[in-house]
Amino acid sequence: MLRYRLLSKYLTIIVLACAASGVCAGISRSGEQYTGDQAIRNYDFLNASYESPIAERDVQVRDGEGATGVSAYSVRVSFGDLDGDDQEEALLLWHDEGAVGASSGAQLYRLVDNKLEPWLTIEGGARNDGFLTMATLERGEVVLARGPLRSVDAAPCDGFTVSFQSLQDGELVERQSYCDDLSDPLSPVARASWPEELNRFVEKRQQCDHFRGEPIEGDSAEMKERQAFVLQKMAETCTGTDAELKRLREAYAGKPDIMQALETFEDTIESTGEEVVAEPFLKTGVYGPITIGTELNRGQFSGVLQLDDQPECSLRFRGLLHADPEPLHAQAQLRSHALVSPDATDTVFPLTLRASTDAAGTPTIEVAIESVPKRCTVLASWLQAQTKPLVRTQAGDWRSVHWIQSDRGYFHSEAHDSTRGKAYVVLGDTVRGYRETAAFIEAEYVGKTGRSTRGWINWMDILPELWLGDGAEM
């Protein structure tokens, strides 16, 4: 069943089944080199068969190019997360150009149960009427560029009509459109034919500049949380861009259009001044009874303080990272409360954590809790005995730390229910999180003997994370 929605001056057709636009084709896997959120890249879109509307038959495409005898068929593909499920989708742009006519269009694909399925179809135009010259996924949106529109009510445009569309209630809804005359060297149309490394740099640096320019004023808890979030995003998006900008300018010195675009960026933004960009002081690892994971892409950290002598008073915590030596603030919850009512806000209390290094450069932490429940005598005694920082005894690359909420949480060899194994963890066990999909997290359980078990665990078996507020969860 088709649903039509008029966007700007052209028609976008959204279908929930395979469309007759030449993209219902034989696209096979090229391997299993991509995992997690990039798993869709295992499908070889540039070497597949597609249906040619002009030739009215299938055409085999090699490295994105094919021929039918009466037309030249080409495809391009871009990847990105459109629906916010932390899984990439693929957007395929196709052109079918013959001697007397041409057609174009785009098809969105996604993975459903680890299988490729067509999702939404974007109708293209003819050669002289809204020809779809570009279709990419950028920062959670579909970006389209079309040639001149010939309809009588079309807005005049001496260039390309660029449209930014986001997903709302299963539909692509236009957020912004404008006429691109290519005067901006960084416009989406100008960058459409660039090598991937250049577009990656531009996207990262533009995100960096966005956070560098965000004004944050006030001393409220909300503003402090937002400041910590912005500082971490600067660390994530700005670090290393000075050197990369220099390298790209040297590599593309003979490309005037690219050089003009790269000249729009400041030479140096990583400094020791107010805009310092540095890795967070807090490092992933084991610090005595505390296990901590740092998640740089989200600007957050999480951890568990395990008290074997009084396990009900063990606690979990979660907070925002920042790149300065000031204490980190987290929300904490006792194990006895978390396993019964993890979402209850009245059982959550503040925890302060200061991260540093010792004389040898080894990461250390200090933990402080203002008020400890009277029944948690082991926790109170442990805190009182901490006269010096805890030294990291084990480094790691896990990103998060979680408790299990199910009686049994089974490990899977892949992020799919059909791959369930015999090993499992039980209610209250601590696991370390690595990669994630919409339904699974790659987790590791380390027993008291040091033996570890690692695999994919369903998110339904994982205790929901502590809430940090809207500013942190964006």
Q: What is the pLDDT along the chain (474 residues), one digit of tens a residue?
A: 223 233 333 333 333 334 334 444 578 887 767 888 889 999 999 999 999 999 999 999 999 999 999 999 999 999 999 988 889 999 999 999 998 889 999 999 999 988 999 999 998 877 778 889 899 998 889 999 988 776 666 677 888 889 999 998 888 998 888 888 878 888 888 887 788 888 889 888 888 888 877 776 666 777 777 777 787 777 778 878 888 999 999 999 999 989 998 998 887 776 433 443 344 578 999 999 999 999 876 778 999 999 999 999 999 999 988 766 678 889 999 999 999 988 888 899 999 999 988 888 899 999 999 888 899 999 999 999 999 999 999 999 999 999 999 999 999 999 999 999 999 999 999 999 999 888 999 999 999 888 999 999 999 999 999 987 644 443
Cα(399)–Cα(470) distance, integer angstroms: 21
Q: How confident is the model at residue 259, as a pLDDT?
A: 92
Which CA distances in Å does 277 have to 208, 280, 323? Answer: 10, 9, 7
Q: How confident is the model at residue 280, as a pLDDT?
A: 58
State which amino acid sits at residue 377: T
Q: How confident is the model at residue 270, as a pLDDT?
A: 64
Q: How confident is the model at residue 10, as a pLDDT?
A: 35
| Dihedral sign of CA atoms 465, 467, 471, 472 in order | negative
Altogether, the residues listed in the chain come to a count of 474
Q: Are 179 and 161 in contact (CB under 8 A)?
A: yes
Cα(399)–Cα(317) distance, integer angstroms: 14
Cα(318)–Cα(284) distance, integer angstroms: 13
**With DSSP H G I counted as helix, E B as strand and the rest as coil, what are the percentages for the chain, rounded to 5?**
20, 40, 40
Query: What's the chain's Rg over C-alpha atoms?
Result: 26
Contacts of 155-158 with C-beta under 8 Å, sequence gap 24+, read 155/9, 155/179
DSSP H helices in 213-334: 221-238, 241-251, 256-262
Q: Are 376 and 334 in contact (CB under 8 A)?
A: yes
Which residues, in sequence order, are CB contacts of 38 under 8 Å at separation 6+? Answer: 79, 88
Q: How confident is the model at residue 410, as a pLDDT?
A: 97
- 56's torsion region: left (phi>0), alpha (psi -120 to 50) or beta? left
Task: Tell how strand 440-446 and strand 452-458 pair up.
Answer: antiparallel
Q: Give 448-460 as a DSSP string.
A: TTS-EEEEEEEGG
State which amino acid sits at residue 453: T
Q: How confident is the model at residue 325, as a pLDDT?
A: 61
pTM over 0.75: no
The 3-state DSSP class for residue 234 equals helix
Cα(113)–Cα(97) distance, integer angstroms: 35
Cα(252)–Cα(66) distance, integer angstroms: 29
DSSP class of residue 181? -
For the chain, what is the largest distance between any 2 Cα atoms, rounded to a whole number of angstroms?
84
Assigned token pair, 436:
């994630």
Question: Which residue, 191, 186, 146, is CA-closest to 164?
Answer: 146
Q: Are 412 and 405 in contact (CB under 8 A)?
A: no
Q: How confident is the model at residue 2, as a pLDDT?
A: 28
Q: How confident is the model at residue 324, as a pLDDT?
A: 60
Which CA distances in Å does 313 have to 109, 348, 365? Answer: 47, 13, 20
Beta-bridged to residue 357, according to DSSP, are: 363
Strand intervals (E) in 86-190: 89-98, 102-112, 115-123, 132-138, 141-146, 160-168, 171-180
Q: Are 366 and 386 in contact (CB under 8 A)?
A: yes
What is the CA angle 195-198-202, rounded to 5? 145
Beta-bridged to residue 105, according to DSSP, are: 94, 123
Cα(111)–Cα(460) distance, integer angstroms: 20
Cα(216)–Cα(257) distance, integer angstroms: 36
End-to-end CA distance of the chain: 34
State which amino acid sits at residue 148: P
State which amino acid sits at residue 110: R
Assigned token pair, 231:
């500082």
Cα(157)–Cα(274) distance, integer angstroms: 43
Question: Which residue, 351, 364, 181, is CA-closest to 282?
Answer: 364
Task: Tell how strand 141-146 and strand 65-67 pair up.
Answer: unpaired
